[in-house]
Amino acid sequence: MPLIIAIAGASGSGKSLFTENLLKEFAQEGKSVQVLREDHYYRAQDHLPMEEREKNNYDHPRAFEHELLLEHLETLKRGEAIDYPSYCYKTHTRMKETQRLESAPVIIVEGIMLLASPELQPMYNVKIFVDTPLDICLLRRIMRDIAERGRTLESVAKQYEETVKPMYHQFIAPSRFTADVIITQGGENHIALDVLKSHIKQRLL
Q: How far apart are CA 108 and CA 126, in angstroms?
A: 10
Secondary structure letter of residue 186 according to DSSP: G
Q: Is 26 in the site for ligand LLZGTKA7 (CB under 6 A)?
A: no
Q: Is 72 in the site for ligand LLZGTKA7 (CB under 6 A)?
A: no
SS3 169: helix
Contact with ligand ADP (CB under 6 A) among 3, 5, 8, 12: 12
Query: Which residues lie below 8 Å from residue 116, measured CB to CB, with a gap of 6+?
Result: 8, 61, 171, 172, 174, 175
CB of 49 to ligand ADP, least distance (A): 27
Residue 159: alpha-carbon gap to chain centroid? 19
CB of 11 to ligand ADP, least distance (A): 5
Q: Is 65 in the site for ligand LLZGTKA7 (CB under 6 A)?
A: no
Q: How far apart are CA 148 and CA 142, in angstroms?
A: 10
SS3 157: helix
Nearer to ligand LLZGTKA7, 26 or 42 (CB): 42
Residue 119 in contact with residue 73, Cβ under 8 Å? no
Q: Which does 59 bind (CB under 5 to 8 A by kind): ligand ADP, ligand LLZGTKA7, none?
A: ligand LLZGTKA7
SS3 142: helix
Cβ count near 33 (within 10 Å): 20
Q: Is 85 in the site for ligand ADP (CB under 6 A)?
A: no
Q: Is 138 in the site for ligand LLZGTKA7 (CB under 6 A)?
A: no
CB of 15 to ligand LLZGTKA7, least distance (A): 6
Q: Is 39 in the site for ligand LLZGTKA7 (CB under 6 A)?
A: yes
Contact with ligand ADP (CB under 6 A) among 2, 9, 61, 85: 9
Nearer to ligand LLZGTKA7, 54 or 80 (CB): 54
Residue 162 in contact with residue 39, Cβ under 8 Å? no
Helix axis angle, 190-204 relative to 15-28, nearest 10°? 50
Contact with ligand LLZGTKA7 (CB under 6 A) among 69, 106, 112, 123: 112
